[in-house]
Amino acid sequence: MHVLWIYLLLFFTACGDKEPDTTEAIEVVFFNAEIYTVNENQPWAEAFLVEDGVIKFVGTDGEVKNEASSNAEMIDMEGLLIIPGIHDVHLHPLEAASNNFQFILDDQVEDAEEYATNLETALAENPGTGWLLGWGFDLEILLEATRNPKEILDELSPDRPVGIMELTSHSIWANSKALELMGISNDSENPIGGIIMRDELGEPNGLLMDNAGNILIDLALPVTAESKQNDYEGLIEFALPELAKHGITSLCDARTYWKRDHHETWKKIANEGNLTARVNLGLWAYPNEEDNDQLNVIKGLYENNPNSLLKINQIKLYSDGIVHNTTCAMHDNYMLDYFGEMTNNGLNYFTEERIAQYITELEPIGFDFHIHAIGNRGVHESLNAIEQGGSNNGRHRLTHVEYVDEQDMERFAELNVTADAQVAGDFTNPEHWHDFDFLIGAAVNNNVVPIKSLTEAGARVTLSSDWDVSELNPFIGMQNALTRNPQNIGLEQVIKAYTLNAAYVMRQEELVGSIQVGKEADFIVLDQNIFEIEPTQVAQTKVLETYLKGELIYER
């Protein structure tokens, strides 16, 4: 298939030594296509005209060719399906790509002791006395270990601090040296939003749940020239190309750690002109920071230059944790006790009152909130906080929304709160809904991630990946959203969730999100028409080409 940049190269080469006429607009016609526009006034088209990256006309092949000038470039799309560029409004590209984590554990082990082989290799391949950081243990395997988890690491690394992040990022496995550097002892209290797990004698056992683990990573990853270079190279060499490969032209970094200078790394790439996507950063709200100091820092980081692909205009905070380590906030107590407490209905990183305070302070600056809320209590309290602290100007969203009470369904639309869901992971499919009945009972597991119920209640729904917790490929999420009966939605709704609805969340629905006159030409070309195949085949779809502002940024 012809590509735009080849045409331009040939054009300017033909000009020889003459200066090109830069005053003449460059027109390109994409024709002979099946174009699903996500414009309700013109859902389908055959062709569109792009001039200097902006869509000037959409219609039939004949109509568009009549609108084009005689020297317009003509690109035959050979009957392929074109849809708007994908928006992924919840993913972690910098964390997924950076080499600041030095190793990944084998995900096929069945016993905690089997991790030793990986750890021995990691220690040998990363010599030194500084922190050794890894990723990928299964919490349930460690909870079932016959030995104290800390002892397994201590045997391999008694003098060097080791911290390993769980598959979901919601707990850390640490050795004694790491706990010592953190100042954790038998007398240490649990931090806000976290749990220091203990053995039967009350000693820390090496498992740090939720924010207790985050504190370890903050200590282990101070800002250095090396850490920033690892982040930079990870984004440039892996994450951004991978996003383009999957048709993602807009994204929200869902956890931008400003203490680690993550925002500075994104800004460097943007300033160099190397961004190949529109990016909104969600500045991380640290639960253990003093509020006034943190709010003042965050206010100073706000950036919303309309001419830049990069915006710093969102806040990411957690209301609660996750279900399988009994930290997501539920109305009722969990049926098992992991933490030695008399009762446990989950925890709060940020309470309802504190979330409301942050919204009151930061929404007038221009920040929208991206709130992690998994449990039914977490969802309820987060909606309360938005109702208390927000205004009609906010475009806030709750992400994950795994457990939503019936009485809270309509509140999303009433408060203009977007429900952001991730269904790419197998664990969100109906056959796995009752995996955690032993923790929270069967009744609340009948409608996990209720995207159909939320849609029917009038909520704006977006679908995202949470990469690298789940697969980045949006067509896996699309297929699951289509097939996860009884909580499935239609194909038009699915595509809108990945495009125009998500563009609204990013405050760019007037700019992109549909193939429409006056909008910039962000679009993707697919190898099969997902409107003409079985829903169970959608995940096999491949992106052939990805365009940003009319420029080809990926070709398969």
pLDDT for 4 equals: 35
Position 319 confidence tier, pLDDT thresholds 50, 70, 90: very high
* Cβ 108 vs Cβ 271: under 8 Å: no
* Cβ 485 vs Cβ 430: under 8 Å: yes
6-62 per-position pLDDT tens digit: 333 333 333 333 333 344 568 999 999 999 999 999 999 999 999 999 999 999 999
Write out the H or E segment, with its range, that includes residue 310.
strand 310-318
pLDDT for 25 equals: 64
Radius of gyration of the chain (CA): 25
Question: Has residue 530 got a pLDDT over 70?
Answer: yes
Position 338 confidence tier, pLDDT thresholds 50, 70, 90: confident
pLDDT for 475 equals: 98
* Cβ 433 vs Cβ 448: under 8 Å: yes
Question: Has residue 438 got a pLDDT over 80?
Answer: yes
169-200 per-position pLDDT tens digit: 899 999 999 999 999 999 999 999 999 999 98
Across the range 141-168, mean pLDDT stands at 94
Token pair, residue 42, equals 């013109």
Average pLDDT, the chain: 94
pLDDT for 298 equals: 98
Across the range 118-144, mean pLDDT stands at 94
Token pair, residue 102, equals 């030095």
Q: Do domains 4-79 and 101-220 have the same CATH topology?
A: no
Q: Which residues pair with 28 in a beta bridge?
A: 50, 73
253-312 per-position pLDDT tens digit: 999 999 999 999 999 999 999 999 999 999 999 999 999 999 999 999 999 999 999 999
pLDDT for 340 equals: 79
206-237 per-position pLDDT tens digit: 999 999 999 999 999 999 999 999 999 999 99
pLDDT for 24 equals: 57
482-520 per-position pLDDT tens digit: 999 999 999 999 999 999 999 999 999 999 999 999 999
pLDDT for 10 equals: 34
Q: Where are the domains of the chain?
A: 4-79, 87-93+224-540, 101-220
pLDDT for 8 equals: 35
pLDDT for 351 equals: 98
- The CATH architecture annotation of domain 101-220 reads Roll (3.10)
Question: Has residue 545 got a pLDDT over 50?
Answer: yes
**Superfamily name with CATH number, domain 4-79:** Urease, subunit C, domain 1 (2.30.40.10)
- The dihedral through the CA atoms of 336, 407, 398, 363 has a sign that is negative
Domain 87-93+224-540: which CATH class? alpha beta
pLDDT for 342 equals: 64
Question: Has residue 63 got a pLDDT over 90?
Answer: yes
Q: What residue type is assigned to position 413 of the chain?
A: A
Angle CA(172)–CA(104)–CA(162) in degrees, nearest 5? 45
pLDDT for 1 equals: 38
341-369 per-position pLDDT tens digit: 767 999 999 999 999 999 999 999 999 99
Across the range 411-426, mean pLDDT stands at 97
Predicted TM-score (pTM) of the model is 0.93
End-to-end CA distance of the chain: 11
Residue 69 burial (CB < 10 Å; 0-12/13-18/19+)? Answer: exposed
Residue 187 burial (CB < 10 Å; 0-12/13-18/19+)? Answer: exposed
Three-class secondary structure assignment of 103-162: EECCCCCCCHHHHHHHHHHHHHHCCCCCCEEEEEECHHHHHCCCCCHHHHHHHHCCCCCE
DSSP annotation of 50: E
Percentage of the chain with pLDDT > 90?
91
In the three-class reduction of DSSP (H, G, I as helix; E, B as strand; rest coil), residue 253 is classed as strand
Closest CA to 383 of 393, 396, 367: 396
Q: What residue type is assigned to position 158 of the chain?
A: P
Concatenate the DSSP letters of all residues of 386-438 into one string: HHHH--TT---EEEE--S--HHHHTHHHHTT-EEEE---SGGGSGGGGGGGHH
Strand order in the sheet with 551-555: 44-45, 34-36, 81-84, 523-526, 543-548, 551-555
Locate all alpha helices (DSSP H) within 302-417, ordered by sequence. Answer: 352-362, 376-389, 406-409, 411-414
